[in-house]
Structure 1
Amino acid sequence: MSFINEFKAFAVKGNVVDMAVGIIIGAAFGKIVSSFVGDVVMPPLGLLIGGVDFSDLAVVLKPAQGDLPAVVLAYGKFIQTVVDFLIISFAIFLGVKVINRLRHSHPAATAPTKDQVLLTEIRDLLKEQVEQEKRTPPADPAP
């Protein structure tokens, strides 16, 4: 098999395609959560705390000098990123929980009971006996 054919077989497998779709959706979901946290959650939280804009929270380690920018420890952005992570983790947890519940909701096929096995064997023997009688020509009646 050529290299290109091997790659095609690999890329078209269901798992690879499913994984690619999951990564794309995950990236889009991450952007939605980041916007939700930055634009919806953090502003009211900052207002409740006293008009704090979390994205501006920082400690200046070294002020800007000339053309050199300031060295800043931006812990406000870090707090926002942690909140993003917590929301995404919780959403993934809920998704996995739902999927696991759906997987376990289908009862597993139970093994047949001894009676069912015995009845199946009797049925099969009767079918075999009928087939054998059909193949055997009838005996000539005695004169």
Structure 2
Amino acid sequence: MGMMTEFREFAMRGNVIDLAVGVVIGGAFGKIVSALVDKVIMPPIGLLVGGVDFSKLAITLKAAHAGPDGKEIPAVVLAYGEFLNAVIQFVIIAFAIFLLVKAINRLHRAPAPAPEVPPATPEDVLLLREIRDALKK
């Protein structure tokens, strides 16, 4: 079997295609959550804490300066505001996935228990019934 045939069989398995669809939808969902956090959630929070734009929060470790050849060397900054936005995005995505998994688990309810099978009648009871039935005749 050729490598291309083997690859085609691998790629066309149902779970591989499902995974690919999940990755694409997950990427789109991530962009939606990023926009939600950056454009909808963080601005009001920034306004409540004194007009702070969280995405711009940073600590300058080394200021920008001109190098020996006259070219500007950019500043070295610790952009903790962007990290804070990423953490909030992660929490929102994790919560959404939690709700999705919870809903899916609710749909996959446990099957109804099988009816209880009565215990087998002991042999001595069966023999006594047989004797009783024979005496009735």
Instruction: Give the TM-score of the pair, scaled to structure 2.
Output: 0.78
* Contiguous gaps of at least 5 residues in structure 2: 67-71, 120-137
Where do 4+ consecutive residues of structure 1 move more than 3 Å? 111-115
SS in 2 for 1:61: strand
User: Within 1, Cα distance between the matches of 2:112 and 2:8?
Assistant: 36
2:15 paired residue number = 15
2:93 paired residue number = 88
Q: Deviations over 1:11-55 (max 9, x none)?
A: 111000000000000010000000000000000000000100001
Deviation at 1:2, TM superposition (A): 1.6
1:110 paired residue number = 114
1:45-56 to 2 correspondence within 5 Å? 45-56=45-56
SS in 2 for 1:98: helix
Q: Deviations over 1:89-136 (max 9, x none)?
A: 0001111111111112x5246267359xxxxxxxxxxxxxxxxxxxxx
Q: Does 1:98 align with 2:72?
A: no
| C-alpha distance 64-10 of structure 1, shift in aligned 2 (>3 A) | same
Q: Which has the higher contact order (CA 8 A, sep 6+)?
A: 2
User: Within 2, Cα distance between the matches of 1:44 and 1:16?
Assistant: 41
User: Within 2, Cα distance between the matches of 1:4 and 1:64?
Assistant: 53
User: Within 2, Cα distance between the matches of 1:98 and 1:24?
Assistant: 21
- The aligned length equals 114
Letter in 2 for 1:46: G
User: Within 2, Cα distance between the matches of 1:20 and 1:45?
Assistant: 36
1:25 paired residue number = 25
Identity %, equivalent residues: 58
| C-alpha distance 11-111 of structure 1, shift in aligned 2 (>3 A) | farther
Aligned-residue Cα RMSD (Å) equals 1.6
Instruction: Give the TM-score of the pair, scaled to structure 1.
Output: 0.75
2:42 paired residue number = 42
* Contiguous gaps of at least 5 residues in structure 1: 116-143
User: Within 2, Cα distance between the matches of 1:39 and 1:31?
Assistant: 12
SS in 2 for 1:72: strand
User: Which has the larger share of helix?
Assistant: 1
SS in 1 for 2:93: helix
